Chain A
C-alpha cells in the first residue's frame, strides 16, 4: 500500500504570494491532518479534515486554509505569505478520527519564503 504523498516536496515563494500544497493519504484513510514544523516552534497542528469537513483547527491566522476532496485528498493554502511561514509542512493520515489511532506522515513540503 502506498504511503502518504505530498507535492511539491520543495517550494520557493516570495512574500505576498500564495501557495497551495497537496496531500494524498493512504488508501482507505479518511482523516487528514496538517502540521507546520519549524526549528523554533516545533510541530504545530494546523487543522484536521475528515469526510470533507474541517473537524479541528489550530491557532493559526485565517491566511491558512484547507480543504478535503471526496477521495480524501487534501490541499492546504496559505495566502499573503510572510517570511515566518517558511517551514516544513507535514501531512498525516489515519483511518478514522479516533484519538488512539496512529497517524501516518508524509515526507513533507519544505516551503521557503523570500
Chain B
C-alpha cells in the first residue's frame, strides 16, 4: 500500500475562518511533508516532520500551523489566510532513517485544493 490520503479534497474558506487539512499514511513512513503548489508552478516545500518532530520550516507565515499527532497523521491548521494562499496543498511521506541512508521516494497524496475568499 503506497497510499497517502488527504481530506478534504476541496476547501473554500473566508479570511476570518479557521480550518484544518488532514493527511494520513499507513506505510510506516517516519517523515511527512506539506507542500504548496500554485497553478502551473512546481510544488514548494512548507514543512517537514521527522519522527513526529518538526525538522524543517521553510519560513512559512504563522497563519499556517502544522501538527503531527502521531506517526501516521499530519495536520495543517489554517487561520486568517489571504486570497494569495489559494493553492493545491500536497502532503507527502517517505521512509527516513536516523542514519545517512538513501531515502525512499516521497509519496504524495491527492492534495487539497484550497480557495480563500
A and B associate in one complex? no
Chain B residues within 8 Å of A, Cβ to Cβ: none
